[in-house]
Amino acid sequence: MFILAIIFIAAMQQTGTYQPVGTVSQLMIDIIYPTSDDLFYIERNPPSNEHEWGLIERSALTLAESGNLLMMPGRARDQGDWIKDSKMLVDAGTAAFKAAKAKDMNAILALNDQLVASCTTCHMQYRQNYRRRPQQ
């Protein structure tokens, strides 16, 4: 009984700290998809001044941190591969953030494969019917 109470209180504290607002699907559509596109297609409209580089930097930072949002209690589907896959996104996003700060477009393009791998690794494991939809 005592042990159960401790577990219960620990669980309450863990979920009580965070207040997830969007679903995983909403994070994908409103945060992860648009910000990753800014990096995947950076060549279409190459940043040419401080302001435009600032926007790329913002997208990369948002994308990197979105990996942390996926790991939050209440969102993480498990403590194994889900966490590993989310960390892949944090790592790729962090590298892109550094490249954006250095205004290095080639470095961002070179990260595309790593970034796509972070999406597809998780989608193959956790996104239902993923194989039947067009690749993303």
Binding status of residue 24 toward ligand HEC by CB under 6 A: yes
Positive or negative: CA dihedral 92, 131, 30, 53: positive
- Strand ranges in the chain using DSSP code E only, listed in sequence order: none
List 47, 57, 64, 86, residue binding ligand HEC (CB under 6 A): 86
For tokens 């790593």, the residue is 114
Stretch that binds ligand HEC, among 11-19, 54-62, 100-108, 116-124 (CB under 6 A): 116-124
Binding status of residue 104 toward ligand HEC by CB under 6 A: no
Binding status of residue 87 toward ligand HEC by CB under 6 A: no
Binding status of residue 85 toward ligand HEC by CB under 6 A: yes
| Comparison of 82 and 109: residue with beta carbon closer to ligand HEC | 82
Q: Which of 71, 68, 74, 124 is nearest to 93 (CA)?
A: 68
Binding status of residue 70 toward ligand HEC by CB under 6 A: yes
Binding status of residue 89 toward ligand HEC by CB under 6 A: yes
Q: Which strand (E) or helix (H) includes residue 102?
A: none
Tell me the two tokens of residue 66: 């979105």
Cα(96)–Cα(100) distance, rounded to whole angstroms? 6
Q: Which of 91, 23, 100 is nearest to 56 (CA)?
A: 100
Binding status of residue 123 toward ligand HEC by CB under 6 A: yes
For tokens 């401080």, the residue is 50
> By CB under 6 A, how many residues form the interface with ligand HEC?
20
Query: Which stretches of the chain bind ligand HEC, using CB under 6 A?
Result: 24-25, 28-29, 32-33, 36, 70, 82, 85-86, 89, 115, 118-119, 122-123, 126-127, 136
